[in-house]
Structures are given as C-alpha cells and as structure tokens.
Amino acid sequence: MSRRMEGLKPYLFVEINKMIAEKKARGEEVISFAIGDPDTPTPENIINRLCQSARDPANHRYPETVGLPELRQAIAGWYQRRFGVSLDADREVLPLIGAKEGIAHIALCFIDPGDIALVPDPAYPVYSISATLAGGEPYYMPLTEGRNYLPDLDAIPEEVLRKAKLIWLNYPNNPTGAVAYLDFFSRVVQFARQHNIAVCHDAPYTENAFDGYQPISFLQADGAREVGVEFHSLSKSYNMTGWRIGMAVGNAEMIGALGSVKSNLDSGIPQAIQYAAIEALSGPQDCIADLNAVYQRRRDLIIEVLNDIGLKAKPAKAGLYIWAKVPKDYTSMEFASDLLDKVGVVVIPGVGYGSNGEGYVRLSLTIPDAGLVKGLSRLAAWQDSKNRFKQKK
C-alpha cells in the first residue's frame, strides 16, 4: 500500500452510513438529518430531456472530456444571467462529473510534495484530502463564529504563505451556513495576487437561499478571473445529485490545466446527461424558488425545536444546513452518538469537518416532511428524557 493511503482517513459520510446501516440491521428505525441529498425529484422537464437524449444513438458513444460545446455555452449563459459574469465558453468553462470530481483533481494541477493548500476549518473534507493525495499538506484556517466564519487571511504565517499554492473558500458555507460578500472576495483577490496563490471557490449552494437573500459569485469581484476558479454544481439547484454533473469556471489557465488532468483520467460526462443539464440551465427556473420555499419552512421548524431543547442555532441565509451548538458537557461526537443511541436520530458531529467544528453538529434540510416531523418529535423526546433524568438526580 502506498504511503499516501496510510494517512487517508475514512470518508466522513461513509462512516455515518455505516452507523445507520448497523442500526437498521437490528430492526431499528433511523431518522437521518445527515447528508445534504435533495429528497424531492428532479424537475420533469429535465427528466424528459434525458429520456429523449438517451434514445439517440449518437449519445451512446464516448463523450468529449471537455463537454459538449452547447453545454459549455449553456453554463456561460447561466453565469451571465445569474451573476452578470461573462465567460469564454471555450476557454473558461469546464463541465465536471459532479463538482467533487473537479475539487479532488485540481490539487494535481498546483500541489507538489512540500506545497501547502490553505483550507478552511471546519470544511468539506475533500479540500484537505485532495491536497494530501497530491503529495502536499493542508494548512487549516480557523472559521469561527466571532469572525462570521470568514478566515483571517492576515493571521496566516509568512512561512506558510511562501509554500502555499492554492486557497479553498466555500460560500454559502458548508457546514456553517455562513455567507460572504463582495468586500471579502475583493480582499481575497488582493491576497491571492500578493502571494501568488490560486483561488478555488466552491459554490454549489448559491441557489439555495432564503428570506430574499441572493448569494453572489466569487467571480463578481474585480480581478477574480485573474487569480481563481469557481466550482458549481447542478446537484443542489435542480435535485440532480445522482446525475453527477457540475462545472468549473474562471481563469483560463487553471481551467486548461484541470482539463488536461481530466483528459488523462476520465472520459467525460455521458452526453444524454449533458443534454439534460442544458435543459436545467436554460429551461424554466421556477423549480428553484419552489424548492427554497420548502427548505425555508423546514429550516424554521428545525430552528424552533433546536432552540427549545437548548441547542443554539441561527437561521442560515443560504445553503442546506443548520449549524447548531451542542449542549454543555457534550463533545460533538458524544452528542451525535447520544442522539443515535437514545432516539435513533442522526446528525453529523462538527468535528468531522475539522477541529474547529468541535462543539457543533450539522443538520440537513433535505429530509422528507414525514421524517422531519418524526425526527423533531424524537429530538423533543430526547430533551424530555434528559430533564426527567435531572429531576431524579
């Protein structure tokens, strides 16, 4: 086994799914607030386009790694309409087999042994894993509530900056639900120029927003395309997690490098799925507002119950998650384990996203309403049992 495998920890959600499977094997019902996988179907117009395209023999052959020209143009058109960002569809757009694939591979474009990737903490685990697999190492930038979960770029040591080749950002943020504004992204552009660091912004949650808030793109900051790329996905916007399609857009040199890696490692996205993606990006967009209304209602219900049982949680402006402080005298892992053992409810311990996630748990909004109601009643029952225990003492 290679040395890189020795330091590779099991992927967080694999472990969560294993715990759920063990409970179910014992005949126990589990209510999961764990993984952010939309529970409602892909919109019908997108499915119809897939079925139509799947019957065309031309789409049964190998696709091009860089994607259909029509898909790249659809992505560019969507960015123009949504963010006012103009992209060269041939040089600044690259379709991906889900954003995760591009996030994992881009480290190979920038990281050599001894190099550093600046990674938020807490964060989506793939940012640090990709750096490790490329032979580099992550340097963790703390995200704290006191700084609104924005990294303190000025606190990064000079010796780290000399070795740093790229920086990861993610807003709206997973797992905290935090958002970033144009002044922060402008500061990031300045920072990247000063230290010759490539920026990778992961933005799959820009379309999941509430209370009239509309997230922005990193590429809206002046000079952003000179220093970085943005990853996006159709997974959360159009309920297409299982279809595996996303995109990287931005700096032409970075996009070209990622395309070169992909051409050597994969054969691209099945063309029928690409045509479905074109329909998603170019067709009716009302499904997004409809989904957000469902998620906002769920968010408000969960927040109410969490606050009632003593977990401090604020309603997120965007994203699919609630980031809640665990009760006193619990670690995040102890609290998650207690919920699973006592009431069969799954939440993700914040420490699974990094050491600065300690003291928090993450709950997803992508749970069917029936499961949501049952899960919330179980959380209330957990609190009742704790209160009875205290009274007996």
Among left, alpha and beta (phi > 0; psi -120 to 50; other), residue 156 is beta
Torsion of CA 325, 182, 318, 35, to 10 degrees: -70
DSSP state of 350: G
How much is the pTM?
0.94
Q: Report the alpha-carbon distance of residue 126 to residue 202 in Å, rounded.
A: 11
Is the peptide bond prior to 151 cis by the omega test (within 30 degrees of 0)? no
Identify the segments of the chain with pLDDT beneath 70: 7, 9-13, 15-16, 386-393
Ordered DSSP codes for 266-296:
-----HHHHHHHHHHHHS--HHHHHHHHHHH
Of residues 346, 380, 374, the one with CA closest to residue 361:
346
Q: Residue with structure tokens 């997974």?
A: 235
Residue pair 127/89 in contact (Cβ under 8 Å)? The answer is: no
Give 74's Cβ-side CA count (13 Å radius).
19
CATH topology of domain 44-282: Aspartate Aminotransferase; domain 2 (3.40.640)
Q: Report the alpha-carbon distance of residue 259 to residue 74 in Å, rounded.
A: 18
Q: Which residues pair with 259 in a beta bridge?
A: none
Among left, alpha and beta (phi > 0; psi -120 to 50; other), residue 216 is beta
* CATH of range 3-41+286-392; options 3.90.1150.10, 3.30.420.40, 3.30.70.260, 3.30.70.20: 3.90.1150.10
Of residues 115, 215, 117, the one with CA closest to residue 174:
215
Residue pair 272/59 in contact (Cβ under 8 Å)? The answer is: yes
Instruction: Give the per-residue pLDDT at 309.
Output: 87
Token pair for 252: 């032409």
Phi/psi of residue 110, each to 5°?
A: -130, -25
CA-angle at 289, arms to 174 and 230, nearest 5° = 40
Q: Report the alpha-carbon distance of residue 246 to residue 100 in Å, rounded.
A: 8
Which sequence spans correspond to the domains of the chain?
Answer: 3-41+286-392, 44-282
